[in-house]
Structure 1
Amino acid sequence: MTKRTLQCFAFGRPGDIQAICVDLDIAVEARTFDEAKARLNQAIGEYIKSAMAESPEVAQQLLHRRAPLFLRLKLAFGYFLHTMRTDSRERDEVRAGFDIACPA
């Protein structure tokens, strides 16, 4: 089995953080960034385990199910704008891009 790096994003404010893996179209909610990242990692692991239990053809489809292009572009652009912004009023807002390594 090969290792694959999955592109993920998290956004929101403390107490209401959403995280999404755009390479598998899986999303979770949590109260903190660390909790969202852990929940997303767990959800990805469970999803991959379930996908691998299917026939090889179905597993291949499930393991290459990406989020819609519009959503991927919106998240990437929002992350880019957030990193460029210097407005201190928005500092409590969370926007992060990160990778998760997993077998797939």
Structure 2
Amino acid sequence: MPLTQTQLASEVAERSGLTKSDAKAALAALEEIVLEELANAEKVRIGGVVQLVVRVKEATKPRKGRNPATGEEITISAKPASVALRARPLAKAKAALPSVQKARKRLAA
């Protein structure tokens, strides 16, 4: 079961000694700061857990392709440039991962 925002706020409050309302306010402030930085196309690193990077995907030109089922030549349409968000797990997140057996058992349930 995924960790909800309320559960996360409760855990933060319990571990830091804050009240639940203070923990919720801190999480809301963190969310606001992260969104502002992403809107400015800045790289955001949250602790040693995750890094968020804004990427620009360049536009593509129309090109020739082939329908794999029929072999017919087709034109693949151009795509405009776009902005994408990439989330990269950092060392602490990777180290926290369970073993393959634990993960399979948990995901199967």
Query: Quick check: which one's strand share is greater?
Result: 1
The answer to whether TM tops 0.5 is no
Please report the TM-score for the alignment, with normalisation by the length of structure 1: 0.34
Structure with the larger RCO, 1 or 2 (CA within 8 Å, 6+ apart) = 1
